[in-house]
Amino acid sequence: MPSVSPQRVTQLLADWSHGDDVALAELTPLVYEELRRLAHHFMEGQRPEHTLQTTALVNEAYLRLAGQTRPNFTNRSHFFAVAAPNSGQLRQEQPSAKTRWRLGQDRIG
């Protein structure tokens, strides 16, 4: 994360919670690397055939967070606590190769 105080991130989160889209634009690059680090940590424990990449996971988590109509984060820690479970949910949404085959999604025909 670029050199920025946790208080600044908390202030930007509060501003975003009050509808300030400019705050979200400023916040995004400040939290991206931390979200990427968390996603990488989550991905380390995945099956070898898992195809979702860390960057895609972070981007999807960001889209889900940014798409909230009424975000309400109390501070930086709260934001990352909410963001991390979203990353975990995304991991679970991608079916295994065996499941895709069983459902016929990998069959050519």
Residue 44 has pLDDT above 90, yes or no: no
Give this prediction's pTM. Answer: 0.65
Domain 6-102 has CATH 2.40.30: no
- What are 72-107's pLDDT values in tens digits? 888 888 888 887 644 445 445 555 555 555 555 544
1: tokens are 């994360």
Report the SS3 class of residue 46. coil
Residue 27 has pLDDT above 60, yes or no: yes
Closest CA to 90 of 68, 64, 66, 67: 64
